Amino acid sequence: MSRIATVVLASLTLVASSAAAAADSGSITFNGQTYTLQSKNASPNEVLNEYIPTNQTLDAWTHLISVRWFPELNDRKAAVGTLIKTLLAQYPDARYAAWELAEAQSTGVDFVTAEGDLVEFNIFIYKPHPSGKGLLAHQVALRAYGDDRLPFMQNLRTTRADMLQKVVDFTFPEVIGE
């Protein structure tokens, strides 16, 4: 498992999330692309669903959507703070931005990390679970490998602005396996 995945998983186990209307078929459409549910994991502290484009694998994806539910967490700002602290402990030079969506009772963070021949851009939005129990974390992540890293980074400013709006507007699927 890459350090990037370890950062996300370690901090999210302490953090929060889930969302709206899940397709019974296990597939969703985001930004014109179809994603298929590839992974469902549940523990007492976290339920995780991961979606990737149909033609990709969890070992080598370029786009990922995840929905997480943290039943024991309730403070979305603290969850974002924990994620940032964990991120900076493993990637001291990581660029990130935290933000508040007060009208949606959500707190978000986006960041970019690089390791070896991999660059990854993540957006997380934390909000209360509709049941009032715990937090949901909605994630959209983009990756580039090898020679695709430089163009990815050169376009990141535009990609970030575009993706932030699309993620905020997206109706994420409900967590499967609660």
- Residue 178 within a domain: no
Q: Is the pLDDT of residue 24 over 90?
A: no
Q: Which residues contact 70 (CB under 8 A, 6 or more apart)?
A: 12, 13, 14, 15, 16, 17, 45, 46, 79, 134, 135, 136, 137
- Residue 175 within a domain: no
Q: What range defines the domain where residue 100 resides?
A: 3-169
| Angle, CA of 178, 8 and 136, to the nearest 5° | 35
The structure tokens listed for 40 are 């469902």
Give the model confidence (pLDDT) of 79-113 as tens digits: 999 999 999 999 999 999 999 998 889 999 999 99
- Residue 119 within a domain: yes
Q: How many domains does the chain have?
A: 1
For residues 38-58, give the mean pLDDT: 94
Give the model confidence (pLDDT) of 26-43 as tens digits: 899 999 999 999 999 999
pLDDT at 25: 55
- Residue 95 within a domain: yes
CA distance 164 to 125: 10
pLDDT at 16: 29
- Residue 177 within a domain: no
- Residue 12 within a domain: yes
pLDDT at 177: 83
Going through the chain in order, the beta strands assigned E by DSSP cover 27-30, 33-42, 47-53, 63-70, 95-101, 106-115, 118-128, 135-145
Query: What CATH number does the domain containing 146 carry?
Result: 3.40.1000
CA distance 165 to 84: 21
Sheet holding 135-145, edge to edge: 27-30, 33-42, 47-53, 63-70, 135-145, 118-128, 106-115, 95-101
**What's the length of the chain?**
178
- Residue 22 within a domain: yes
Give the model confidence (pLDDT) of 108-154 as tens digits: 999 999 999 999 999 999 999 999 999 999 999 999 999 999 999 99
- Residue 21 within a domain: yes
